[in-house]
Chains A and B, each alone.
Chain A
Amino acid sequence: VIWMTQSPSLLSASTGDRVTISCRMSQGISSYLAWYQQKPGKAPELLIYAASTLQSGVPSRFSGSGSGTDFTLTISCLQSEDFATYYCQQYYSFPRTFGQGTKVEIK
């Protein structure tokens, strides 16, 4: 099993801030990492796959980086619609695993 440590679990920020979320793997997964955004009462939505490839329709203020065991999601200029919970997920091996989630709240 590949264990994932996502941090922080809670992030307080203001509109316009640059925020980063980290995801660390217990073993290397090459670039088989995705980031999802979930808003309350809604299904998750894919933001980034292959660690750094933006899903179609996702704003360019979202970016992803990393490979191997350490990955980062960056939102360059936080907008009001970005306040949500973010999850990383590895799809390198089974069982697929998700990070614990990072809630981005209004400061």
Chain B
Amino acid sequence: EVQLVESGGGLVKPGGSLRLSCAASGFTFSSYSMNWVRQAPGKGLEWVSSISSSSSYIYYADSVKGRFTISRDNAKNSLYLQMNSLRAEDTAVYYCARGGAARNHAFDIWGQGTMVTVSS
């Protein structure tokens, strides 16, 4: 079964750090671009970051640029999001989502999400 499972969410104080992980299974992880998408409570979807299959291309939303770092370990079938200097407005459910082999591809598989709460 094709599956993505996020972990690492939790409660963190403003200015703190958190590292999210996304474990992939059921497909050849190294062949796909991957993405992080977040959703603040009661709000819509916001794209956060994307990484190509070989990590050659990385993109960030302006709202997280310079604070968040996306990475992947194809040997471990895992995607990561290092989040530093966290703010209250980063509070959201964070989803990892599979892209495709091509640069332009919809997000066809999503994880169940992990909640990040930034509060003092």
User: A residues near B, CB below 8 A?
Assistant: 32, 34, 36, 38, 42-46, 49-50, 55, 87, 89, 91-92, 94-101
User: How many inter-chain residue pairs (CB < 8 Å) link A and B?
Assistant: 55
Please choose the segment from B14-22, B70-78, B82-90, B110-118 that sits at the chain A interface, where 4 or more of its residues have CB less than 8 A away: B110-118
Distance from B115 Cβ to chain A, minimum over Cβ atoms (Å): 11
B95 touches A (CB below 8 Å): yes
Q: Do residues B44 and A101 form an inter-chain contact, with CB atoms below 8 A? A: yes
Interface SS of chain A: helix, strand, loop or mixed? Answer: loop
Is the pair B110, A45 in contact by a Cβ cutoff of 8 Å? yes
CA–CA, A101 to B44, complex, Å? 6
Which residue in B106, B112, B113 is a CB contact (below 8 Å) of A91? B106
Q: Interface size of B by Cβ–Cβ distance < 8 Å?
A: 20
CB contact list, B40-81 vs A, under 8 A:
44-47, 50, 59, 61-62
- Per the 8 Å Cβ criterion, residues 1-44 of B in contact with A are 35, 37, 44
User: A50: which B residues are within 8 A, CB to CB?
Assistant: 106
Q: Which residue of A lies closest to B111 (CB)?
A: A43
A95 proximity list for chain B (CB < 8 A):
47, 59, 61-62
